[in-house]
Amino acid sequence: MSLSEDPPGELLRLSRGWYQSTAWVHWTMSIRDRGRGWLTPSHHGALRELMIHVCARYHLICPAYCLMPDHGHFLLVGLADGSDQRNAMKLFRTHWNHLLSATGHELQRQAYEHVLDENERNPDAFEDTMLYILNNPVSAGLVGDWREWEHLGAIAAGYPEFDPREGSLSGFRERFWKVHHKERRKWQGDSPP
């Protein structure tokens, strides 16, 4: 696939096909001017609810996310042949900006993303990406162990117990793959709006 034609001043994006179907994408979204003061337990709850709706609508699963004081990380995995993460992120960012407006903040104009290649989607490499996201608060010196940071988790619509804090990380990895395969079979051939 090729690079897309993006407007001047925009980050160069891959063509749309890289974000569709069963794509795995690590999205990073910063608050404009690295703004702080918006991250509260209630904001996290509202954002989590929003992400559940986005995942359900576009047939995605989020095996790891982490909200930091001035940005957020989200690993999203497409489950349906018709999944489109660029459309999903457009919806997500619109509504997140609405939530942020109540705090006097907004998202930076464009998200940064990394589309995981085939080698990065194998079980061991997947865990590396997941740990990179979950360990952000440790790297920033906010907590000693990622499990202590209250503003992170995982989302699979219909699976409220889907949480990397529950049990061991290898146990969560097994749960992820079971849910992923089950949902992938269910949505194969489906086209979300």
Q: Please provide the size of the chain in residues.
A: 193
pLDDT at residue 48 in the model: 96
CA gap 116, 14 in Å, rounded: 12
- Burial track 106-123 (b if 16+ CB lie within 10 A, e otherwise): bbbeebebeebeeeeeee
Q: What is the mean pLDDT of the chain?
A: 88
Q: Which two tokens stand for residue 37?
A: 């003061």
pLDDT at residue 153 in the model: 97
Radius of gyration, alpha carbons of the chain: 16
Alpha helical stretches, state H, 20-122? 41-58, 85-101
Q: Is 156 helix (H, G, I), strand (E, B) or coil?
A: coil
C-alpha closest to that of 71 among 122, 29, 17, 12: 29
pLDDT at residue 192 in the model: 52
Quick one: average pLDDT of 168-172?
Answer: 87
pLDDT at residue 18 in the model: 76
Q: Which two tokens stand for residue 106?
A: 């907004």
Residue 116's pLDDT band (cuts 50, 70, 90): confident
What is the pTM (predicted TM-score) of this model? 0.88
What region, left, alpha or beta, does residue 82 occupy, with left being phi > 0 and alpha being psi -120 to 50 degrees?
A: alpha
CA gap 69, 72 in Å, rounded: 8
Amino acid letter, 115 = V
Quick check: 11 pLDDT over 60? no
**Residue 8 CA to its chain's centroid (Å):** 26
Residue 2's pLDDT band (cuts 50, 70, 90): very low
Least confident segment among 50-64, 95-109, 157-171? 157-171
What region, left, alpha or beta, does residue 184 occupy, with left being phi > 0 and alpha being psi -120 to 50 degrees?
A: alpha
CA gap 33, 189 in Å, rounded: 41
